[in-house]
Amino acid sequence: MSSLVSPPKLFEVFKLQQTSSPSDTWIKSACRMCPAFDAIRVLVRDGQPVRIEGEPNDPRSLGHICAKGNSGIWLHYDPYRVKAPLKRTGPKGMYELGKWVEISWDEAYNTIASKISQVRAKGEDGIVMYSSYSALPYSQTWASFTSAAIGTNENIHLGMNWCGHTAHYLSRVAHLGFTSVVDYDLCNYLIQPGRTHGMEGGATFVPRANKVANAHARGMKIVNFDPRMGAAGAKADEWWPVLPGTDGAVASAMLEVLLVELQKYDVDFIKKNTNGPYLVGPDGLYVRDPSNKKPLVWDSVDKVAKTYDDKSVKDFAILGSFNVNGVDCKPAFQLLKDAVTPMSPEWAEGVSGVPAQVIRRIATEFVNAAQIGSTITIDGKTLPFRPAAVEYYGGNASNHLHGVANGMSWELLNTVVGNQDAPGGHCNDTIWPWLRGGPDGMIEHPAASYTLVKSPPYKFVFPPQSPELEEFFPLGDHLGAVAYVTMSDPTNYWGAGNKKIEFMMLHATNPVLSMYDPPKMERIWKDAEFIAYFCLTIDESAEGFADIILPDRCYLEEYQILNDWLMQPVASPPANIPFLHDALSEIASRAGFLKDYNTALNASLVDPYKVDVNSKVPTEDLFDRLLKSKYGAEKGLTWFKANGGVKTAQKFTYQPWKFMLNPPRRLPVYVEMHVEVAKELKKNMDANGVKWDFSDYSPVPTWIPSHLHVDTPPYDLIAMAYLQSYHTYTWTNQVPTLAEISLEDPYASYVMINTKTAEARGIKDGDLIWVESEIGKAKGRARLTEAIHPRVVAIHRSMAGWARNSIVKDLYRMNAGIAYQTLRPTKMEYIDKLTATLENCIKVKVYKAEGS
Amino acid sequence: MTRYAMVIDLTRCIGCTACIAACKMKNGLPKGVQWNNMVYDEQGTYPNVRRLLMPKACQQCADPPCVKVCPTGASHKRADGIVLVDYSKCIGCKYCIAVCPYDARQFIPGLQPYYQSGLTPLELTWQAQHQTGVVEKCTFCADKIDAGVAQGLKPGVDRDATPSCVITCPTSARIFGDLDDPKSAVSAFVNNRHAIPILPELGTNPSTFYIPPSRPASKGVF
Amino acid sequence: MAILPWGLMIASYLFLGGAAGGAFLVGGLLDLQGKNSKLSKWGGYVGALAIVVGLGFLLLDLGHPERAFLAFVNVGSSVMTWGTWIISAFAVVAVAYISFYFGMFPWSKLVRARKALAAVGMVLAFATMYYTGILVGVAESRPLWSQAAIPVLFTISGASAGIAMLLMPSALSKKEVGDEEVHGLERTDALLIGAEVFVIASIVFVLANSTSAAALSVQTLLTGDLSLLFWAGLVGVGLALPLLLYAGTWTFRKHKAPTWVAFLASFSVLVGGLTLRYVVLGAGQSYEMTQGLGFTVAGIAIYVPTMTEITLAAGLFLVFAVAYALGARMLLRK
């Protein structure tokens, strides 16, 4: 048993041939190093994987594979792989290094099953199911288990940290979907603020990299706004540094140039496909027809108000002010214009640092490149052609306090040139067919909120019952940060956080390293009743908090279906490790909800492939059924194992909101929903004496400075995090090749700091420095560079792990990099009141460490 | 005649290091050994900054100084232009490293395991592909090329006859082929798109060509 | 990444090779002039010893010393192959030459044969010294190396070091060799050192104003990571100190200089010789001509010999010192 905490011996079971062997075979599978899930083929020699290449038949990756994908076979050979269930014997704590004894699978299953069935039986909240976004997005097995386990109980949603909260929200509101991307194949002008697709960043990298490179080679101009010049800034045609959190001001100023200075925008689109013509009264709400409640518009020819869908409308007024039924009103578009009028490029320069003339010029180039009015014929359909777009998904442009209020201009720049879901423009990546509009076609609450596990969403109750304060965030996006605030302060917030995690189960995710605010996290996790963790190696989350660790199969040993492609095992795991589904089945069975689990699985299956809900379904059988359910009797597991999959090239459904919906929807240029929801919320909050800030519910772009933009002595610099394309999440730091590549990157394992900023603090290149925020400090080495804004320091994400059994310890001479989360405060003041986004950047101060 | 050549299009390359990783994994390069390197450079003063991201491996020169100075003839150039080291003849004198203008070669003093626990089975397989005490460098995946050509495949066109770094590149920034074939893609790049070698004034006549980045730095190779 | 291949071991090899050539050259010259057979014998011995120990450094630096014989192969183009032949021949000739001074060998009385061998050995000695410079001189990619001045410098330095090696025993006891030859050699050495200063200064000035890569190489020496070794080790100890001491001995000559002065002069010349090779190798390799490799090569400019290298070098120099001392006792007894 003690051998488990010392490095394991090499296993004898592997006897690899030393030269090319007649047994060499290529097996098709999928890469799970990031959510792109590119198809791969794996060279297997004597039952062991020795090389990975991209699968040439993948029409999205085109047979390419990134550094992470190439290096994936290391996971199979990691000597620190957990090989047997382990039980914790020592104390828990954030930086505690766990003590373990090996237990049998039987004991592990029984313990977990009994814990979870206790919690379920109590009918209380307190179950948290955490999974890696990369490992199991929309996975049938984990998702089914989650819904079965939680059942009708509440669960605590603690997740999601780095995603593009603002972008996701606006994608729902504007696009019917989860994410949006640009139609690179046809785009001629691309503006990318923040983490940038196809250039950096670890998620869905390869498919986008292909497209962006092709588009750039074809002549697409790329303009990058980022406080740091990463690869994207280096390769873009223009890089403009911007103060963190002020990108929105730049966007609003660009909007001002289009709407006020040039008065150039897609008038037709705004009139017919947006709520621009909707008349808005002094209360900020639509002026509606008294009889049928439909929003009214002003017919500028007939000079009378009509309902928006009145076929007799000759021309929609989008500017001006009118009086309808005694109510002074303006078209929504006029309100948008009024809002951006004061936000001139000169003003934006003062806020962001981007020169006014640059803002003006880029806005002009953008709208000219959009070719408003032009059309293109695709598949026999004539569509508007708008080859200019902004894409702002990204950890930093999109993860700010006041992100929607300040940043909706990015989305609106797309809307006003009419490129939404148009060829060449800003297109929906993941359509959610259930996102329908209201009677007037506009997306409305509650459909707009991101209901991960709760459906229908929370009704307002007081005092709030959920630790995420879902009652207070009716339009909220991932609310995990709120839960951290309330649960670490259980006597406050009306006791909403006075909930314990009764049962938490994790798979392939390491929140302790990647999430935020260690003191708060420790309070909550330490308090958790029971934590079970399927992990490949004992990482920081396991070290500190797991009660039971279960071995996991890496992706080269597992099944999964992703993007019409099959990921299949190419080798046996290094020990007796079951498929994840089999382990979940076993747990469900012993905990008495196997029927529920199988029933949930059956939701993804069709007759005659549905499973018998009373018996455990072996993994291979399950996947055969899943495949046949979706692809037909001929294409079961055998077919997929031989052929890989049926992946097709990405094809956009242009203007789904127009053609797929009935009635066809208009897009917002004015988010009336914000006013409506804020009004309702304010009524409820006032009735209960809750002081709340509603400025984030602005229906039009505005500028709300955050703590980043005012003096907060002694914290005078802003820290930001970023990600290179050879890393994603935390586990890529476990891969020796990737860790080595990181070390050779001049910036990745250092704190990037502007040369002058460093010199003013007596810091030389390579010096050990402290980076300190209001909640903690961390030590790292300074890299002096010109490629960063003087008021910003940049830290690569998810580094500086402290788990013992990892290549990080073996390879890095010191904890390379800084654990960003040690600095990131989680408090209500830093949480956006609309989307519940936690401000991604941190006010810090930087100074030389002793003994440099 | 055949002259294998590589073109690296720096207007496409984003420095993602896929090629670095692919080379390491395919050739079984142990800890500390790398045949393909990413060159990072930064010039200028904020905010007028230029960053160079440039992969660099052996340039497979047609007039290679390494071959000239090798005392045992271990470093040699094949008829198809690929410069290789015959490890059985290499005595590890490192003269070739000293004269290479591109710092493309590396001496292998010994095999270091990545993990403290020792060599993993993966590294053990790799161990058999290498000899310690000799000098190594990029081989243009000559083993792949030879195996592919023997099956009638075309290097640069068919993946199984093409270097791993080329087939992995996410932005299709690498082109490989026969420079002596006027119809090949590399010929098109060199002749029509002005792909250039680095340090041509040294007369090494490299078989690796670069398309300069869109926004080159003011001093240095690009 | 091991980008700096030639460090302490090769610097020691080049130094000993140069000194061996210098010692034999001077000894052989004295033989041909019919003067001082003791110094000729001593020159032969020192030459042979230094070249053998130097080859020891070389072999220990190789990855596969057991295959070293393969280095004779590439006569067509490899300077190192030429060097292998030259040095091997020189070693053989040097050992053969010493044998002429031992009565047990029948040919020891054949003076003309001995002188002919001296002449051959002198050619090989000169070639050895020159070769150490040509070796690095053909590296077009290293601006510090790739210039005509380097073989000249290494030859001069080798001659100077060779003389210093010849003089060290006499420094301990002036009576063991003739005063005239000693002073003549000291004067020659001082002139050689002066020439070295001249050549080094020229190199520094010309390169500092040449291409940026060349200038960077020179900056490594003048102000960079090797500046301490350059200024203190080479310029201070290796050049200025002996010059001052030699000047002193000429003054002192009338009053008999203390032995420590002469000894120190010789020893510091040797330190300077090793330092010269070390810094030239280091500076030549730290900045190569592909500008923009700054970050990937960051850190290699600070080459620090490994513990293994330091141990091996110390061991071999110790072997040399012991054999040198024993040889001095046996061969220079009255």
CA distance A353 to C14: 58
Helix (H) or strand (E) holding C159: helix C149-172
Residue C95, number of CB atoms within 10 A of its CB: 17
CA distances from A3 to A8, A100, A102, A573 (A): 6, 10, 10, 19
CA distances from B57 to A242, B54, B60, B103 (A): 36, 10, 9, 8
Three-state secondary-structure class, residue A638 = helix
Confidence of residue C301 (pLDDT cuts 50, 70, 90): very low
Inspect the interface and report whether the beta carbons of C296 and B133 lie closer than 8 Å.
no
Q: Please give the residue of chain A at the shortest CA–CA distance from B30.
A: A737
CA distance C152 to C195: 10
Residue B47, number of CB atoms within 10 A of its CB: 18
* Bridge partners for B208 per DSSP: B6
Q: Smallest Cβ distance to C81: which of B41, B71, B97?
A: B71
Mean pLDDT, chain A, as a whole number?
87
pLDDT at A661 over 70: no
If you average pLDDT over residues B164-174, what whole number do you get?
A: 97
DSSP states of B40-81 as a string?
Answer: EEEEEETTEEEEEEEEE-----SS-HHHHH-SSS-EEE-TTS
Best CA proximity match to A171, nearest among A438, A455, A415, A401: A415
Q: Which residues of A582-596 are buried (b: 16+ CB within 10 A; e: fewer)?
A: bbbbbbbbbbebbeb
Confidence of residue C193 (pLDDT cuts 50, 70, 90): very high
If you average pLDDT over residues C173-196, what whole number do you get?
A: 78
Task: Please report residues of A whose CB lies closer than 8 A to that of C298.
Answer: 746
CATH number for the region B4-211 comes to 3.30.70.20
Inspect the interface and report whether the beta carbons of C61 and B93 lie closer than 8 Å.
yes
Give residue-wise pLDDT tens across range A790-841: 999 999 987 888 888 777 667 665 447 788 888 999 999 999 999 888 998 9
CA distances from C236 to A550, B159, C18 (A): 66, 60, 21
- Two tokens at C160? 């100077």
Provide the chain B residues 138-177 that lie in CB contact (below 8 A) with chain A: 159, 164, 167-173
- Two tokens at C150? 């380097």
If you average pLDDT over residues B171-182, what whole number do you get?
A: 96
Mean pLDDT, chain B, as a whole number?
91
Confidence of residue B116 (pLDDT cuts 50, 70, 90): confident
Best CA proximity match to C302, nearest among C234, C230, C231, C220: C220
Phi, psi at C38, each rounded to 5°: -65, -45
Q: Bigger pLDDT: B9 or A663? A: B9
CA distance A236 to A200: 12
CA distance A603 to A580: 19
**Residue found under tokens 């959190």:** A245
CA distance B34 to B105: 9
Give residue-wise pLDDT tens across range B90-114: 999 999 999 998 889 998 887 888 9
Give residue-wise pLDDT tens across range A247-292: 999 999 999 999 999 999 999 999 999 999 999 999 999 999 999 8
CA distances from A617 to A131, A156, A582, A635 (A): 22, 29, 8, 19
Task: Please report residues of B whose CB lies closer than 8 A to that of C2.
Answer: 32, 97, 106-107, 109
The widest CA-to-CA distance across chain B, in whole angstroms, is: 54
CB-based contact C146:C137 (threshold 8 Å):
yes
Q: Which residues of A642-651 are buried (b: 16+ CB within 10 A; e: fewer)?
A: eebbebeebe
Inspect the interface and report whether the beta carbons of A52 and B213 lie closer than 8 Å.
no
Choose, out of C132, C144, C290, the residue to mutate when testing the contact with B (most B CBs < 10 Å). Answer: C290
Helix (H) or strand (E) holding A628: helix A619-631
If you average pLDDT over residues A95-122, what whole number do you get?
A: 92
Confidence of residue A397 (pLDDT cuts 50, 70, 90): low
DSSP states of A172-226 as a string?
Answer: HHHHSBS-EEE-TTT-SEEEEESS-TTTS-STTHHHHHHHHHHHHHHT-EEEEE-
Best CA proximity match to A654, nearest among A267, A409, A386, A448: A386
Inspect the interface and report whether the beta carbons of B21 and A810 lie closer than 8 Å.
no
pLDDT at A440 over 70: no
Three-state secondary-structure class, residue A669 = coil
CB-based contact A133:A35 (threshold 8 Å):
yes
* ipTM for this model: 0.96
**What is the model's pLDDT at position A1?**
24
Confidence of residue A12 (pLDDT cuts 50, 70, 90): very low
Provide the chain B residues 104-163 that lie in CB contact (below 8 A) with chain C: 106-109, 132-135
**What is the model's pLDDT at position A14?**
26
DSSP states of A403-449 as a string?
Answer: HHHHHHHHHHHHHHTT-BTSTTSEEESSB-TT--B-TTS-B-TTTTS
* Bridge partners for A146 per DSSP: none
CA distance C269 to C276: 10
- Two tokens at A833? 């009141």
Mean pLDDT, chain C, as a whole number?
86
**What is the model's pLDDT at position A15?**
28
Q: A160 CA to chain B: closest CA distance, Å? A: 25
Is A740's Cβ below 8 Å from some Cβ in B?
A: yes
- Of the CA atoms within 13 Å of residue A26, those in its CB half-sphere come to 13
* Bridge partners for B129 per DSSP: none
Q: Please give the residue of chain B at the shortest CA–CA distance from C85.
A: B71
If you average pLDDT over residues A767-795, what whole number do you get?
A: 94
Cα angle, residue A167 at apex, residues A163 and A168 outer, rounded to 5°? 70
CA distance C125 to C158: 10
Instruction: Classify residue A558 as left (phi > 0), alpha (psi -120 to 50) or beta.
Output: beta
Domains in chain B: boundaries: 4-211
CA distance A238 to B48: 10
* Bridge partners for A100 per DSSP: A88
Task: Please report residues of B whose CB lies closer than 8 A to that of A754.
Answer: 46
Between strands A531-535 and A548-551, the pairing is parallel
Amino acid at A171: S
The answer for residues whose C-beta is within 8 angstroms of residue C47's C-beta and 6 or more apart is: C20, C21, C23, C24, C27, C90, C94, C121, C125, C162
CA distance C208 to A82: 58
Whether pTM > 0.90 for this model: the answer is yes
Best CA proximity match to A430, nearest among A450, A413, A416, A460: A450
